Amino acid sequence: VQLQESGPGLMRPSGTLSLTCAVSGVSITNSNWWTWVRQAPGKGLEWIGQIYHTGSFDYNPSLRSRVTISLDKSKNQFSLNLTSVTAADTAVYYCARKYLWTYFFDNWGRGTLVTVSS
Amino acid sequence: QSALTQPASVSGSPGQSITISCTGTSSDVGGNNYVSWYQQHSGGAPQVLIYDVSDRPSGVSNRFSGSKSGNTASLTISGLQGEDEADYFCSSYTSSSTHVFGTGTKVTVL
């Protein structure tokens, strides 16, 4: 299983961050939860949310009002949308896989840095 | 949800054992057996070391072990080696069906 994030790199405050995670080696319709995690520079990991192929999802309560995670089954990828971004959203964003009925992340992408700056 | 609490740094000499703590609440660490630990080398992605408190994925050295007591989980690294110098994060599933990570611990090999 391989995951590869892609995103804008640099964006302006108040905009909407859109990231994509391309999945290879397994279908996203298999028994996996697809997850986003971020890490601000020099800081710890922050769980953003997850989605299952049925469309079930869970979000971090602190981000819930701004986050949407979605699936594109035709492209075998999933996406993250984060609205009204500020400098505090500057981070490396990782996508990861969690197998159904497990509670840990066994496959991670390499991460993509998103910088929010005017 | 608040991040789980870890010491900012832990150090040890080669060959020694060190332990990293991870303190949460009864809504996360203390409420289930779904604590995992991740190692992150500088500039790299996290990699799982321990899951379900004390289980190791295949390929992970048996020098890494995990345990839990009440609201605090622990990761022990035995026979410390230079390659163990990295950041370590704990994570727990929560009663709200979410996940929460620890604040992270930088391990230095003296």
User: What are the pLDDT digits (tens) for B24-74?
Assistant: 999 999 999 999 999 999 989 999 999 999 999 999 999 999 999 999 999
> B1 falls in which pLDDT band (50, 70, 90)?
confident
User: Which residues of chain B from 38 to 97 reach within 8 Å of chain A, CB to CB?
Assistant: 38, 44-48, 51-52, 57, 89, 91, 93, 96-97
- Is the pLDDT score of A51 beyond 90? yes
Overall average pLDDT of the A45-72 stretch: 96
pLDDT of residue B42: 93
Closest by CA position to B103, among listed A43, A59, A95: A43
User: Which residues of chain A from 5 to 44 reach within 8 Å of chain B, CB to CB?
Assistant: 35, 37, 43-44
Q: Does B8 touch chain A (CB under 8 A)?
A: no
Q: Do A44 and B103 touch (CB under 8 A)?
A: yes
Q: Does B102 touch chain A (CB under 8 A)?
A: yes
pLDDT of residue A53: 86
A72-89 pLDDT per residue, tens: 999 999 999 999 999 999
pLDDT of residue A31: 86
The CB-based long-range contact list for B48-51 (8 Å cut-off, 24+ gap) reads B48/A104, B48/A105, B48/A106, B49/B75, B49/B88, B50/B75, B51/A102, B51/A103, B51/A104
> A2 falls in which pLDDT band (50, 70, 90)?
very high
pLDDT of residue B69: 97
pLDDT of residue B43: 87
> A100 falls in which pLDDT band (50, 70, 90)?
confident
**Integer Cα distance of A13 and A106 in angstroms:** 33
Evaluated on CA atoms B42, B46, B50, B52, the torsion sign reads positive
B66-92 pLDDT per residue, tens: 999 999 999 999 999 999 999 999 999
> A21 falls in which pLDDT band (50, 70, 90)?
very high
